[in-house]
Copies of this chain bind each other. A is one copy, B any other.
Amino acid sequence: MEEFKKKIKLVSRDLKYKGTIMDIYDDTVEVDGHITHWDYMGKCDAAAILPVLPNGNILMVRQYRLAVDEWTLELPAGKLDYDGEDYLECAKRELEEEAGCKSDNIEFLCDVYTASAFCSEVVRIFVATNLQKGKQHFDRDEEVVVEEWTPENLKKAIYDGKLKDGKTVSGLMTYFTKFNV
């Protein structure tokens, strides 16, 4: 990228706080010869899955999110069990744990950075068809309700500003565009 005139150099990355699911750092950065500070969040990557029923409807999960104080409608998703875990294994686990389904036909849909301005996290999103019944079970502090939605109603919820979860909007709309749904 030679058209860029400003030079950016990371001088140091200092851990400031360890949370439950995130590590927060203060990056000391040299930009064009002067020193500045940027926030950095290290966070385990995640996987999400878009389960499509034979009738074309999509299985979604509803759960309470304290950070936004809302019962959000989302794709089944979860973080990798450990750094480097296969994204597909994680997606299969979340499909069964949250939506109670298995599938032998899962394909890559898209990758999304949660917040590229300050966070390293990637969410890899898959599409699952040929759904079979599995066994729903949750983490201790988690409880989700599965809902079946038509593509038309999901689009309307997004256009109306009612369905807002970022990975979910990315995944659904990429699916609708790619498969002309």
Which residues of A53-110 are within 8 A (CB) of B?
62, 64-68, 70-72, 74, 108, 110
A158: B residues at CB distance < 8 A: 110, 174
Chain B CB within 8 A of A41 CB: yes
Bound-state Cα–Cα, A121 to B164, Å? 11
A170: B residues at CB distance < 8 A: 166, 169-170, 173
Say yes or no: B116 contacts A165, CB within 8 Å.
yes
Kindly supply a per-residue 1/0 record for chain A positions 146-158, scoring 1 wherever the CB is within 8 Å of any chain B CB and 0 otherwise.
0000000001001
Say yes or no: A1 contacts B110, CB within 8 Å.
no
A108: B residues at CB distance < 8 A: 161
A29: B residues at CB distance < 8 A: 66, 141
Chain B CB within 8 A of A5 CB: yes
Q: Which of A21, A112, A122, A178 has the most CB of B within 10 A?
A: A112
Other-chain contact of A112, B4, B17, B166 (Cβ < 8 Å): B166
CB-nearest residue of chain B to A27: B66
Chain B CB within 8 A of A37 CB: yes
Which 8 residue pairs are nearest across A and B when measured between Cβ atoms?
Answer: A173-B173, A19-B39, A169-B170, A17-B17, A112-B166, A65-B116, A111-B161, A6-B143
